[in-house]
């Protein structure tokens, strides 16, 4: 991709619409626009100042009118790409748009690659990489929450947090390096001081890394595994939850096809519920496969919903939920179903029995999947467990690329702290601090190579 080219693309969706916008960006954007635009005042538009709008006709190379519309002019560096830019707003019809594009390319513009406008904005320093990626997220945002998060990222909130972390690390690194190079003058490295300096930095990086979980949930949905013995009321509960949220069902690619998956949304947060086979202790090899599958689903889930028939807790003896809850460490919400069948006192007893047997369970709630009692409460609990540690003041890691980079940074910060505790020479600590810096720099784009940048922008649409 040659940055000296002047590029052109339709910035709006193709089809019939009131208007369509064709964008031109590059060193010859103004002279090319001058050739296709005939304003009423017959001005030389290459001489007009930035932020000028003119009404006129768009003409082909034979000076035949294609359409009429507006020309908006931006001058470098005060444009989206940082280059001279022109936006032609014409009527939104396929024939008009393709004729205008054809004319512009005849005058020397080149059709833009996907994401090339935003890539130029990044290369010209108008946006950092995290902000540039936010443009695509913002356009793709389907929920209010996703829109706000993407906007925050576009406005540079994530970048601010990353810059803050990087500058703290640079400070610590400088303190280490000065004792390596000038130990005679400044004395030995103060390990204790360094550790208390690095710990909060690492803590903040961990908090940021944790928000990635919620970012993924916003994107792919909260994975909830519904576990329980046959007849506990799994299907009834599923129906209750789906009934109330019938309007919003998002298809999300599932991981295991052998399990029943249902998608719903609670307050704009997508939830993918997987109905699993019961977790019985069994010698039957076929049933064992089902149980293994359930265990696997449980391991991949963000939350386990353990449902039992409160009027018949005998099933608890044949279940083996304990290893799942212990091994996966997943939050587990215990649901005592069929509360309509028993007295409050019996319900209390059932709850304390569950609490005793399953000390790992996060919470217990009693419902009736038949009458719908406490379903609202269950929805609130689900929401509460989903949004716990959701974001840091509106900043949220939503991309897998960012998440990986932060995890790398956390790893190196933890290594640096461990080396500090071991009182190892400053060189070792500095090594990990530099790696942490490098990892964080990948998010904002200071330390990524061209190959990665190219791949990131390829995922954009043409015209962005």
> Which listed residue (10, 162, 369, 440) binds ligand GDP by CB under 6 A?
369
x-or-dash string of contact with ligand GDP, 189-228, rule CB under 6 A:
---------------------------------------x
Alpha-carbon span 299 to 321, nearest angstrom: 12
Q: Does 368 bind ligand GDP (CB under 6 A)?
A: yes
From 96-104, 257-265, 363-371, 388-396, give the range in contact with ligand GDP by CB under 6 A.
Answer: 363-371
d(CA 383, CA 342): 28
Query: Does residue 235 bind ligand GDP (CB under 6 A)?
Result: yes
Residue 318 interacts with ligand GDP (CB under 6 A): yes or no: no
Contact between 277 and ligand GDP by CB under 6 A: the answer reads: no
Distance between CA 79 and CA 170 in Å, rounded? 33
Contact call for residue 230 and ligand GDP (CB under 6 A): yes
Q: Considering the rule CB under 6 A, would residue 233 count as an interface residue with ligand GDP?
A: yes
Residue that has been written with the tokens 């295991």 in this structure:
256
- Residue whose C-alpha is closest to residue 457's, from 215, 113, 24: 113
Assess 232 for contact with ligand GDP (CB under 6 A). yes
CB of 228: closest distance to ligand GDP in angstroms?
6
Question: What is d(CA 281, CA 224) in angstroms, rounded to the nearest whole number?
Answer: 22
Distance CA(203)–CA(445), nearest Å, equals: 23
| Interface with ligand GDP in residues 324-343 (CB under 6 A) | 337-338, 340-341
Query: According to the binding rule CB under 6 A, does residue 265 interact with ligand GDP?
Result: no
**Among 231, 263, 265, 315, contact with ligand GDP (rule: CB under 6 A):** 231
Which residue number, 138 or 370, has a Cβ lying nearer to ligand GDP? 370
Is residue 194 within 8 Å of residue 420, measured between CB atoms? yes
Choice from 252, 370, 375, 462 touching ligand GDP (CB under 6 A): 370
Nearest to 367 by CA among 244, 237, 280, 273: 237
Burial class (CB in 10 A: 0-12, 13-18, 19+), 399: buried
Task: Show the tokens assigned to 151.
Answer: 């906007």
HEC readout, 253-319: CCCCCCCEEEEEEECCEEEEEEECCCCECCCCHHHHHHHHHHHHHHHHCCEEEEEEECCCCCHHHHE
Give the interface size with ligand GDP as a residue count (CB under 6 A): 15
Residue 337 CB, nearest distance to ligand GDP (Å)? 5
Binding of residue 276 to ligand GDP (CB under 6 A): no
315 binds ligand GDP (CB under 6 A): no
- Closest to ligand GDP by CB, 341 vs 418, is 341
In degrees and rounded to multiples of 5, residue 18 shows phi and psi of: -60, -50
Asked if 447 is part of the footprint of ligand GDP (rule: CB under 6 A), the reply reads no
Residues of the shown chain interacting with ligand GDP in the complex, contacts defined by CB under 6 A: 228, 230-236, 337-338, 340-341, 368-370
């Amino acid at each position: 991709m040659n940055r000296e080219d002047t590029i052109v693309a339709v910035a709006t969706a193709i089809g019939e619409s009131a208007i369509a916008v064709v964008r031109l960006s590059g060193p010859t954007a103004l002279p090319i626009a001058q050739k296709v635009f005939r304003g009423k005042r017959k001005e030389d538009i290459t001489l007009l100042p930035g932020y000028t709008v003119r009404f006129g006709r768009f003409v082909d190379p034979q000076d035949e009118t294609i359409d009429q519309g507006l020309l908006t002019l931006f001058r470098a560096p005060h444009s989206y790409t940082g280059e001279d830019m022109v936006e032609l707003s014409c009527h939104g019809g396929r024939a008009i748009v393709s004729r205008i594009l054809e004319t512009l390319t005849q005058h020397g513009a080149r059709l833009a690659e996907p994401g090339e406008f935003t890539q130029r904005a990044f290369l010209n320093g108008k946006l950092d990489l995290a902000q540039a990626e936010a443009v695509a997220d913002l356009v793709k945002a389907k929920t209010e929450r996703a829109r706000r998060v993407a906007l925050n990222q576009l406005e540079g909130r994530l970048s601010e947090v990353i810059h803050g972390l990087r500058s703290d690390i640079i400070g610590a690194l400088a303190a280490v390096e000065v004792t390596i190079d000038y130990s005679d003058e400044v004395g030995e490295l103060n390990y204790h001081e360094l550790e208390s300096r690095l710990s909060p930095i690492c803590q903040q990086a961990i908090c940021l890394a944790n928000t990635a979980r919620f970012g993924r949930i916003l994107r792919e949905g909260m994975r909830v595994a519904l576990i329980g013995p046959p007849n506990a009321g799994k299907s009834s509960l599923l129906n209750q939850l789906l009934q109330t949220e019938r309007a919003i069902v998002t298809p999300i690619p599932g991981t295991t096809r052998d399990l029943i998956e249902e998608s719903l949304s609670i307050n704009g947060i997508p939830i993918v519920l997987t109905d699993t086979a019961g977790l019985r202790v069994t010698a039957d090899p076929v049933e064992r496969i089902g149980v293994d599958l359930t265990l696997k689903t449980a391991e991949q889930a963000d939350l386990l919903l353990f449902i039992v028939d409160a009027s018949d807790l005998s099933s608890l003896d044949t279940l083996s939920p304990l290893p799942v809850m212990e091994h996966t460490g997943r939050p587990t919400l215990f649901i005592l179903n069929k509360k309509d069948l028993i007295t409050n006192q019996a319900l209390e007893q059932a709850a304390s029995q569950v609490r005793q047997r399953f000390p790992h369970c996060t919470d217990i709630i009693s419902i009736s999947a038949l009458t719908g009692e406490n379903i609202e409460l269950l929805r609130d609990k689900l929401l509460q467990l989903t949004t716990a540690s959701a974001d840091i003041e509106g900043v949220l890691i939503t991309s897998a690329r960012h998440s990986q980079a932060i995890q790398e940074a956390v790893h190196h910060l933890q290594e640096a702290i461990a080396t500090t505790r071991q009182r190892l020479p400053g060189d070792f600590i500095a090594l990990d601090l530099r790696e942490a810096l490098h990892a964080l720099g990948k998010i904002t784009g200071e330390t990524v190579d061209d190959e990665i940048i190219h791949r990131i922008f390829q995922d954009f649409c043409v015209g962005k």
